[in-house]
Structure 1
Amino acid sequence: MTRGEGACLVCGKPLVYFEHAKKMECSMCHGTFESYASCEDGHFVCDECHAKRGIEVIMNGCRNSQSKNPIEIMQMLMMDPYIYMHGPEHHVMVGAALLTAYRNCGGEVAYEDALEEMKKRGSEYPGGACGMWGCCGAAVSAGIFMSIITKANPLTGTSWRYSNQMTSRALGAIAKLGGPRCCKRDSFTAAKEAAAFVQESLGIDMELPKKIQCDFSQENQQCLKRHCPYYKG
């Protein structure tokens, strides 16, 4: 399996977004869902079908990684053909990579339970929410990571604050770079901000590359190119 520049998993053509959601049939599972997008030929793939194989890649890859660098972990995962250029699998991937690097750096966490919880929570966040809800799933994934490692819930104090601060910090950095969306750019940015926040708030030092470079620009029809800090050029 190979990835192309187009976003549609059925035919490879670009996506078209609607102002209002429409009921559509998934081209893979044939379930009926409300969606704000289809490809130019009308194909629609639900979030579960889009992300299923990619999430399996993420879970297996993270379990087997000894890296202390969340960017390195994500770059390894992104090379798999089931991690598409864009898609809701990134909403699990960011937090899972951070959990893995955190564990490998000596952070205290019940890793297997945490990874499963990251999968569950990240999978609930819909694709396209960056534009439709104004909150990118990569930032939310970083917030979920922080919630899990600090055992936050709606009634906690410091951990509640940390979780919301994490999402806010990642989202602010993502928004500053501008649109249109790029799941790779947003994931790198969220993980970078999370590593810094964890060091500041919890004293765990994750490793980061001296320079983050993206190898996926050719797959993104909306790449910002030299206006993106990760563009290789």
Structure 2
Amino acid sequence: MTQAQKSKCFYCGKEFNNYVLCPDGHSICEECHNKPIIDKSREIYLKSSSMDPYFIFDQMLQQLYVPMLGCHHAFMVAGALLGALKKEGSVKITDKIVDEVFSRISNQAIGGYCGLTGICGIVPAVGACFAYLLGSKCGTDQEQKTVMEITSEVCKAIANLTGPSCCKAYSWESLRIAQKWLKKEFNISLPGSMEKIICYFDSFHPHGCRQARCPYYSKNKN
């Protein structure tokens, strides 16, 4: 929908301004939509023994029922990065840090707003991770500039993968860019490569997969 309508969450009963309805007319608030996956994925990435953010993200996709689209991907991308960094050990990642990063993400990652405002929730998710690591806040100099450069690159990459939108492709591409900037800013080299990513979710896309136009499409890897 392009105009908000007052809706009541099917699960918790909360009233909210809504832009997304299921085919049967049901509405789900952002918290009820995201919280189960956020909670379960957190167990995965904080306990993972891998330093590979792609592998950690794939663990979430394999072990959880993850809807094809939605801002739970923003938290999963941030979780994969923070989990990999925690295992790598160059920077200290605590539960308190994860809580802070997720709190920031929740203020900007809202389902459907990729189309309504042009900003996918994964963009502020990557930004929140780097803002915390760099100590960026409103009024800082180079720190804020660097975070904005990172999010600008993520946003551009996502735009190049759009038509229609795909949260899986956005997630993998964002991890690639984050991996590059971690090396540039902190000299942290996380393992893993987008070249090994093969997507098998094309048949689940409600708006239609981009197929040959997507670098992660399975038949493009053959």
Residue 48 (structure 2) pairs with residue 62 (structure 1): no
Q: Percent identity?
A: 31
Secondary structure of the structure 1 residue equivalent to 2:176: helix
Secondary structure of the structure 1 residue equivalent to 2:7: strand
**What letter is aligned with 2:197?**
I
Count residues with an aligned counterpart. Answer: 216
Partner residue in 2 for 1:7: none
Offset from partner CA, 1:103-129 (integer Å, 9 cap, x none): 322331342222111222222321112
Partner residue in 2 for 1:223: 209
The CA distance in 2 between the partners of 1:178 and 1:110, in whole Å, is: 32
Q: Provide structure 2 residue ranges, at least 5 long, that are not aligned to the other structure.
A: none
Secondary structure of the structure 1 residue equivalent to 2:118: coil
The CA distance in 2 between the partners of 1:19 and 1:162, in whole Å, is: 33
The CA distance in 2 between the partners of 1:81 and 1:65, in whole Å, is: 15
Q: Provide structure 1 residue ranges, at least 5 long, that are not aligned to the other structure.
A: 1-17
More deviation, 207-216/89-98: 207-216
Superposition TM-score, scaled by structure 1 size: 0.87
More strand per residue: 1
Secondary structure of the structure 2 residue equivalent to 1:33: strand
The CA distance in 2 between the partners of 1:33 and 1:193, in whole Å, is: 34
The CA distance in 2 between the partners of 1:32 and 1:97, in whole Å, is: 32
Whether the aligned pair in 2 keeps the contact of 1:96 and 1:118 (CA below 8 Å) is no
Partner residue in 2 for 1:168: 152
Whether the aligned pair in 2 keeps the contact of 1:70 and 1:208 (CA below 8 Å) is yes
Aligned CA RMSD, in angstroms, stands at 1.5
Secondary structure of the structure 1 residue equivalent to 2:21: strand
Partner residue in 2 for 1:3: none
Offset from partner CA, 1:68-108 (integer Å, 9 cap, x none): 11111111111233422111211211111111212322331
**What letter is aligned with 1:50?**
H
Partner residue in 1 for 2:6: 23
Secondary structure of the structure 2 residue equivalent to 1:38: coil
Offset from partner CA, 1:25-78 (integer Å, 9 cap, x none): 111111111011212221111111011110011211111012111111111111
Superposition TM-score, scaled by structure 2 size: 0.91
The residue correspondences of 1:145-224 to structure 2 (distance < 5 A) are 145-209=129-193, 210-221=195-206, 222-224=208-210
Runs of 4+ in 1 over 3 A off after TM superposition: none
Secondary structure of the structure 1 residue equivalent to 2:180: helix
Aligned counterpart for 2:20 among listed residues 37, 40, 54: 37
The CA distance in 1 between the partners of 2:165 and 2:92, in whole Å, is: 32
Offset from partner CA, 1:162-200 (integer Å, 9 cap, x none): 211111111111111222111111111111111011112
**What letter is aligned with 1:130?**
C
More helix per residue: 2
